[in-house]
Chain A
Amino acid sequence: LPGLPAEDDASLSGLFCACPFENASHYQERVVQLAALQGVISGRRSKLGGLVDGVEETMAMCLSDLGVGETAVVCALDGGAHFRSRMASFGFTPGVSVKMMQNYGCGAIIVSLRGTRVALGQGEARKIGVTRPQ
């Protein structure tokens, strides 16, 4: 990149903070690094896991993979700060138990958590990592 002292880690992270969208690849790298540390890289995508006890023994999957009536525990939230903060305000935080109410494989799903029902798009549901006790 022209005009960017790439060796300097601090300035790189400064750039990342100033324009998070332009620097998505850097962000993704970080996510992968962190996920690798946590040791829960699933076949399809990396997830930030390890926040719930016993994650290593269970299989990591995403919310959209759950069938109707199944219950799972949220273990990771992918996506930017804005997305995660929005999800958190709707109750999606690591450790929360989620029950799938409606999922036809396409179109928005309905889940029940913390005493409310929430509808969310498939794309959003794929960014939420869950674990299901085996």
Chain B
Amino acid sequence: MSSGGEKVITVALAGQPNVGKSTVFNMLTGLSQHVGNWPGKTIERKSGTYQYNGAAVRLVDLPGIYSLSANSLEEQVARDFIIREQPDVVAAIVDAATLERSLYLVAELVCLPAPVVLGLNMMDVAEREGIHVEPHVLEAALGLPVVPMAATRNQGVRELVETIDALVHDPLRYMPRRPEIRQDHQAVLGEMESLIAGHIQPPYPGDWVALKLLEGDAEVTQMVESCLPDDRWEQVHALLMQHEDAILAVAGGRYEWIERMTRAAVKHPRAGQVTLTDRLDRVATHPWLGLLVLASILGLVFWLTYTIGSPLQALLDAYVVHGASALTRHILAGAPAWLVGLLADGVVAGAGTVVTFLPILVIFFAILGLLEDVGYMARAAYVMDRFMHAMGLHGKSFLPLFLGFGCNVPAVSGARIVDSPRARLLTIQLAPLVPCTARLAVVAFLTPAFFGWSAALVAWGLVLLNLIVLALLGVGIDQFVFKGAHAAFIMELPLYHIPNGRTIGLFIWQNTLAFLNKAGRIILIVSVIVWALSTFPGPGLENSMMGWLGEWLAPVGRLMGLGWQPMVALVTSFAAKENAIATLGVLYGASEHDVGLAATLAASIPPAAALAFLATEMLFIPCVATLATIRQETASWRWALLNVALLLVISFAVGILIYQGAVLIGWGV
């Protein structure tokens, strides 16, 4: 960038989850980050640049992974990048407090051609836990540069940059000690190497391929099968069959290497010492105390949403959105009515929807980022695991689903924290069934109108109904679509540490930006389409395409004891759930704020039909914003539209069941 002709240095940042890798990345790149997807994958790819000695260095953040097997898409992406794109240096970040485990990835990295610098992070956490690590001793043992760091305190980050630069300019300095396969399998490895020698195309290193074959790596096995002559493949295959358990020798060899590397460099606290994490976990992972802790945290989330998020949302709506809309009308006075409508009610209202989502989104992202950074998220997942199991989900799915009570949009995008793709998809499909604040507002407005003193009970019942449908759908999809096949549940419980403001700030910033960029754009477009559908040919909503759609749905409405007006209200709630009330107001000839609407509605809709309407509204298809987010997160319209179809059928079926049931027992008709 700065000096055109010079080659830009590429550094790959690698590390296991929970080692503070993203903090290092954020410290180095700040706001220069670019967030995209790895080509053809739905995995986030972050890259950024930093300057050192006047030259730009490109830093690519590899996904957080435990090893370089092809066990997950993340692992595949990471190793493909290192092997194919050949970064100048790989900066491997490890956690000094859990060095033995986090060096496992390094044991794999040093077998690849790219030189490795070790960032020995979380030195402060290690000290606090009573673990003492000698960086120089470790460096001498490993044969690669080791930089002690405490990234959350901005310690060692500069030294890491210097060390990377030194290695780039003097690659011959790099003489790592590599792990070897366990003694009893060394002959087999040698045999394998000679069998495949000369057949493996660069950039794949032959010895690495041989090792991965013995590990039973499906991707490498397939690659080797395709480039070996048939008879040679037969030999390789026979050898593999003879040594099916070689993976244990390979992994064992790596841990032996780690043991040798750390023996002199690490001093552990004497056994039996109770650490901070131990003390906190006695409560946080306790079967019922843990639930209590989780419930309090979630209560706090709700409280923040209602005391800060919702009023801010209302303020933004009243002043910014309505103000912008009025301003547009004022500027365009004299322009054709359709143009005024398009800009004021379509574009501005659409952009307004996006803007009013921001306060709640920011609050959720802040809490999500904080809990993740402290290390609590894994505990929440652990505590909820029992309950999510029946649906074929792991505990990790609980949090995004819970976020849905505020707004379904962060629920869908929050499903990213679920690591199995199938469970992530199921979480996303279930998220729209969690009643969001907008739907709760509709229920809060309409239940008193219809049910008087028992309104609270009805509202509570409606929320419960949603959760029951969610659970049943989850169990159903798990049993019949996924056939109950569960991914193995194994999860690290990281040590607790003090959160880093910068990391959380950037987490909020990136997620909000991603929402504005992708989902926001779709919301804007769909809002304009919804405006057009509810305006043309006109005049009035009842003479628009949206109105006709509502009327066309009238036969379904009759099964629920409803006229065409509530059906139109349902259809318009697709734009935003709270629209249902405004639409009813327009169609029953009263304004939203008019106290008359409640009375008018109570007079024209019998209780049984009202209950059916409310249940349908609660279970109805996701709103535009949620739909756009589902599309963004699954990278396919297929899953988004499947969700619409599914909820359309479920909501109408439940509405009809409720009304027909009421007719049968003769209640409220």
Contacts and interface: CB of A to CB of B under 8 A. Distances in A.
A110 B69 CA distance: 24
- Nearest first, the 9 A-B pairs at minimum CB distance are A81-B216, A88-B251, A89-B67, A121-B489, A89-B66, A114-B100, A117-B493, A107-B386, A120-B490
Contacts of B217: 85
B489 A108 contact: yes
Contact of A89 (B69, B100, B238, B491): B69
A94 B489 contact: no
Nearest to B99: A115
A76 to B, nearest CB: 9
A94 B97 contact: no
A119 B71 CA distance: 19
A90 B234 CA distance: 32
Contact of B71 (A89, A101, A117): A89
Given A17-B241, A30-B244, A85-B216, A95 B100 contact: no
Interface string A40-56: 00000000100100000
A82 to B, nearest CB: 6
Interface residues of A, number: 42
A115 B268 contact: yes
Contacts of B238: 10, 13
A95 B211 CA distance: 21
A73 interface: no
Given A81-B247, A94-B248, A119 B378 contact: yes
Interface in B325-339: none
With most chain A CB atoms within 10 A of its CB, the pick from B97, B255, B385 is B255
Contact of B386 (A96, A106, A114, A123): A106
Given A85-B215, A91-B101, A115-B100, A51 B248 contact: yes
A118 interface: yes
B71 A85 contact: yes
A93 B491 CA distance: 16
B488 A124 contact: yes
A115 B490 contact: no
Contacts of A16: 241
Contact of A13 (B241, B251, B493): B241
Contacts of A90: 66, 101, 490, 492
A34 B97 CA distance: 38
B58 interface: no
Contacts of A88: 67, 247-248, 250-251
Contacts of A14: 237
B16 to A, nearest CB: 9
Contacts of A51: 248
A91 B255 CA distance: 8
B493 A115 contact: no
Interface string B223-259: 0000000000010011011001101101110010000
With most chain A CB atoms within 10 A of its CB, the pick from B277, B385, B386, B491 is B491
A110 B492 CA distance: 9
Interface string A92-112: 011110000110101110100
Interface residues on B, range: 35 or more
A131 B337 CA distance: 81
B565 interface: no
B613 interface: no
B131 to A, nearest CB: 8
A87 interface: yes
Contacts of B101: 90-91, 114-116
Interface in B578-631: none
A84 B492 contact: no
B382 interface: yes
A87 B382 CA distance: 18
A120 B71 contact: no
Contacts of A95: 252
A20 B84 CA distance: 29
Contacts of B643: none
10 contacts: A81-B216, A81-B218, A89-B67, A90-B101, A90-B492, A94-B248, A108-B385, A108-B386, A119-B378, A121-B490
Nearest to B234: A10
A104 B288 CA distance: 12
B98 interface: yes
Contact of B104 (A30, A89, A110, A119): A89
A77 interface: yes
Nearest to B240: A17
A88 B493 CA distance: 17
Given A13-B241, A81-B247, A93 B255 contact: yes
